[in-house]
Chain A
Amino acid sequence: MTGTAPDDGSGDDRPDVRPDGGEADADLPGTDLTVRTHEAYPRNALFDWLDQRLELDHTLLGKAFPEDKYGSFLLGEIALFTFVILGLTGTFLGLLYNPAVNAVTYEGNALQYADTEVPAAFASVLHITYDTTFGMFARMMHHWAAYLFIAAIALHMFRVFFTGAYRNPHEPNWFIGSTLLLFALVEGFFGYALPYDNFSKTATTIGFQMTGTIPVVGSFLQSLVFGGAFPAGADQVIPRMFFLHVFLIPAALVGAIALHMAVLMRQKHTEHAPSSRGEGRPDDDDDSLVVGMPLFPQQFLVSTIVFLLTAATVAFLAGFFPVQRIAAIGPATPTSTPSHVGPDWFFMWVFGSLKMMPSWLGEWGRFAGGVVVPSLIIGVMMVWPLLDNPEHPVHFTADPLDRPLQTALGVAAVMLIIVLSIDGMRATVAAVLGVSDAVLYPWLVALTVGMPLFDFAVVYWLLKRRKRRKSRTGTAC
């Protein structure tokens, strides 16, 4: 990246420009790229030492963060910071966890299980939770950080999708980002197995069974992922889940996150619609450069606040809202399934898809509900930038209201996930409404098919009408 004049807008060589006042203004637009942080902080020896060796100013600290009207650009950062929290709390837990299923006698503070025989993994999680200082807190933080990690990734993807920030030339980061979401879900599945309580045994059994329904390669994948039958071969499966959860998938996550950031650095952010540029700034329509705050010091301070708020939120939730209370659930037993069993919220839609398949589909219903439907949804999501692919590079975000088709499809997809999740909670819904499962079933089928279609039609019609009116008034003026 050289500091030459704006180029043809191919997306790769757009210079960063910061509009943070001061003398930098004189140099706009983009002819001088040096961010003079060390001039602003002349007596910082550490900074000078690093800068002389790593050229921080030029390549890293000068990265422009465009104006962010709604704070929605921070969702990705929240995901990143929850991942940091996951790493820290996970390290604490990993040092105390024991991935074994042989029966041991638990001796500790959880009276319910004192002097009883439970699986070693379950006993070690009881020890972490009830016999270790800050153990319960660390576990709950880990669990809540995982929830927020996946939620932040999902919301971040909504932002990118609805504003069209995935378009040419930003498709690579959409592919990497959706792979990250997949890794995060897989990581969640493996982590859920580890306490070896009766919920996690049930969830892992279903995952094992679902993998087996894949034609031809099903049993190979079962061997590869689980390393043995579950629950019959839990003594082989649990250590493998532990390895996958604490090493392999986290390593893949770290790699994918690094790649995600590297592509972001190389390509630069998409910018909100050019009206965000003020007086004396580069031309509104000029997308050959990016206007924004430099990473250091402005964005760094914003990010620090975001990190602290994220940590505070996770700590608050962990402190006051305990989840996955294994003492109440009980250890994995081969002969029973708890009556109110259910997955974490981010798998509720897969659970719903499995539940809704009619009996007459037989084996194919299991494959369709557990593998085909989720794969189709995730697959379309991943390749979406190839389907909606403008010929010329776009560097500004779009207003969702100006994109009837994409916005309507996005709303329909979100609605589909929501109704499938409701299907997953069918028993609860039936109990709340006071009707039987059988009465509820056809209504839920209708809702699952109809609701996304209905939403698509309504949103598309409204936005199309808006567009027509806008163009009419536009010509009138």
Chain B
Amino acid sequence: MSKRTTDTDTEADTDTDAPDIPQSDDELTRRNMAKLLAGIGGAAAIGSFGVDYAAGLPGSLDTGSETLYVEGTRLVDRDGNPLTAADALSTDEFDKMDVFPEKEGGGALVTKRATTLLLRFPEDEYEAPTNIEGTAKGYVAYSKVCTHEGCLVAGEQGSELRCPCHGSLYDPTKGASVTGGPASRALPQLPLGIADDEDGTLLLATGPFEGPIGTEE
């Protein structure tokens, strides 16, 4: 802006001193005006994208924050059948299955965030930092979403859970803490309990996951 002011000043000076206004000064002013207008136009064009962004894009990133488990939510298999503590899994081998929270009115909530890994070991095998209060009859449950890049922990390697993407390893008897690979956080544990009602054998959650799921903070 200061430059433009100077130009105008020069123009005024020449107006009083000499009758012929230098052509170049006049052009310079026009050019600056054109630059200003082009700047405003360009900023408006780019800004319109910003308006678009402010108007809705961030909301669309919602990864889903639906409530998964509360105290008393029953654990069900993919088809919505409740799981009984007696025969869901055996303690003999590295037995595991995918379980889901039961929706209100029945059926399984089958989403990525809700996918829960149910395992069973002899009760005396659990060590810190496992929340032993949160295990029930040797059952333990963790979120299946890897805390590294959000893949789903699938395989096993020895006595550990392995993520197929980048090879992070979790020890399920030690609170699913990281024992190898690039992940930096344990899989969050889901506290379990046994239902008092009915015939007293159904598995249910006694609260939500004890940490953020996957890469959520």
**B-binding residues in A (CB < 8 A):** 202, 205-206, 208-210, 212, 219-220, 222-224, 227-229, 231-233, 236, 334-341, 351, 354-363, 365-366, 369-370, 426-427, 436-438, 441
Contact of B164 among A219, A340, A363 (CB under 8 A): A340
Q: Which of A208, A209, A336, A437 contacts B169 (CB 8 A)?
A: A437
Instruction: Tell me the total A-B contact number using a CB cutoff of 8 A.
Output: 123
Alpha-carbon gap, A359 to B181, bound state (A): 6
23 contacts between A and B (CB under 8 A): A202-B151, A209-B149, A209-B215, A212-B215, A220-B53, A223-B60, A229-B61, A232-B111, A233-B60, A233-B63, A336-B152, A337-B164, A339-B154, A341-B151, A341-B164, A354-B149, A355-B166, A355-B167, A355-B181, A359-B168, A359-B182, A365-B182, A436-B157
Q: Select which of B61, B150, B151 is within 8 A of A219 by beta carbon.
A: B61
Q: How far is the CA of A334 from the CA of B98 in the complex (A)?
A: 12
- The answer to whether A231 and B112 touch (CB under 8 A), given A209-B149, A212-B215, is yes
Instruction: Please tell me if the beta carbons of B111 and A334 are within 8 angstroms of each other in the complex.
Output: yes
C-alpha gap A420/B199 in the complex (Å): 56
Q: In the bound complex, how far is the Cα of B57 from the Cα of A236, in angstroms?
A: 11
Contact A228 B182 (CB under 8 A): no
* Given A354-B149, A359-B183: A223 and B169 interface contact (C-beta under 8 Å): no
Cross-interface CB contact of A335 among B110, B150, B167, B169, cutoff 8 Å = B110
Partner of A363, one of B111, B158, B178, B184: B184
Q: Is the interface of A mostly helix, strand, loop or mixed?
A: helix
Pair B180/A437 contact, Cβ less than 8 Å: yes
Given known contacts A233-B60, A335-B98, A356 and B182 CB-to-CB distance under 8 angstroms: yes
CB-defined contacts of B64 to chain A, threshold 8 Å: 229, 232
Say whether B150 contacts A205, CB under 8 Å.
yes
Which residue of A has the minimal Cβ distance to B180? A438
Q: Does B148 contact A (CB under 8 A)?
A: yes
Within 8 Å CB of B181, what residues of A? 355, 359, 437
Q: How far is the CB of A230 from chain B (nearest CB, A)?
A: 9
Task: Kindly list chain B residues whose C-beta atoms are within 8 Å of the C-beta of A335.
Answer: 78, 98, 110-112, 115, 144, 152
CA distance A360 to B115 in the complex (A): 26
Asked if residues B154 and A206 are in contact (CB atoms below 8 Å), the reply is no
Complex: A220 Cα to B60 Cα, angstroms:
11
Complex CA–CA separation, A212 to B63 (angstroms) = 12
Which residue of the partner chain B has the closest CB to A228?
B60
Partner among B57, B157, B185, B215 whose Cβ is within 8 Å of the Cβ of A437: B157
Q: A227 near B58 (CB under 8 angstroms)? A: no
Complex CA gap A339/B162 in Å reads 9
The answer to whether A209 and B61 touch across the interface, beta carbons within 8 angstroms, is: no
Q: Which residues of A contact B125 (CB under 8 A)?
A: none
The closest CB in chain A to the CB of B115 belongs to A335
Q: A206 near B180 (CB under 8 angstroms)?
A: no
B197 within 8 Å of A by Cβ?
no
Within 8 Å by CB of A232, from B63, B78, B148, lies B63
CA distance A205 to B149 in the complex (A): 8
Complex CA–CA separation, A343 to B205 (angstroms): 37
Known contacts A205-B150, A334-B110, A337-B154; decide if A236 and B60 are in contact (CB<8 Å). Answer: yes
Task: Give A363's nearest chain B residue, CB to CB.
Answer: B184
Neighbouring A residues of B62 by C-beta, 8 Å = 229, 232-233
Q: Distance in Å from the Cβ of B53 to the closest Cβ of chain A?
A: 7
Inter-subunit contact B53/A337 (CB<8 Å)? no
Q: How many Å lie between the Cα of A233 and that of B58 in the bound state?
A: 13
Q: Which residues in window 144-174 of B have CB below 8 A to A? A: 144, 148-155, 157-158, 163-169
Residues of chain A lying within 8 A (CB to CB) of residue B169: 437-438
Q: Provide the bound-state CA to CA distance between A364 and B82, in Å.
A: 41
Is B167 a contact of A426 with CB atoms below 8 Å? yes
Inter-chain CA distance A436–B167, complex, in Å, is 11
Asked if residues A339 and B155 are in contact (CB atoms below 8 Å), the reply is yes
* CB-CB nearest 7 A-B residue pairs: A223-B57, A362-B184, A334-B112, A337-B152, A335-B115, A229-B63, A355-B166
Chain B residues whose C-beta falls within 8 Å of the C-beta of A337 in the assembled complex: 151-154, 163-165
Q: Would you give the 0/1 interface string for B19-53, flagging 1 where the beta carbon is closer than 8 Å to chain A?
A: 00000000000000000000000000000000001
- Among A212, A219, A363, contact of B58 (Cβ-Cβ < 8 Å): A219
Instruction: Given A223-B57, A335-B144, check contact A206 B182 (CB 8 Å).
Output: no
A209 touches B182 (CB 8 A): no
Question: What mask results when residues 49 to 93 of chain B are scored 1 for a CB within 8 Å of chain A, else 0?
Answer: 000010001101111100000000000001000000000000000
Cα-based distance from A339 to B167 in the complex (angstroms): 10
**Residues on the A chain within 8 Å of B61, using CB:** 219, 222-223, 228-229, 233
Are B182 and A354 in contact, CB atoms less than 8 angstroms apart?
yes
Nearest CB in chain B to that of A338: its residue: B164
Q: How far is the CB of B163 from chain A (nearest CB, A)?
A: 7
Looking at B53, B58, B152, which has the most chain A CB atoms within 10 Å of its CB? B152
Contacts of B163 in A (CB 8 A): 337
Query: Which one of A206, A229, A437 contacts B149 once the chains associate, using CB atoms below 8 Å?
Result: A206
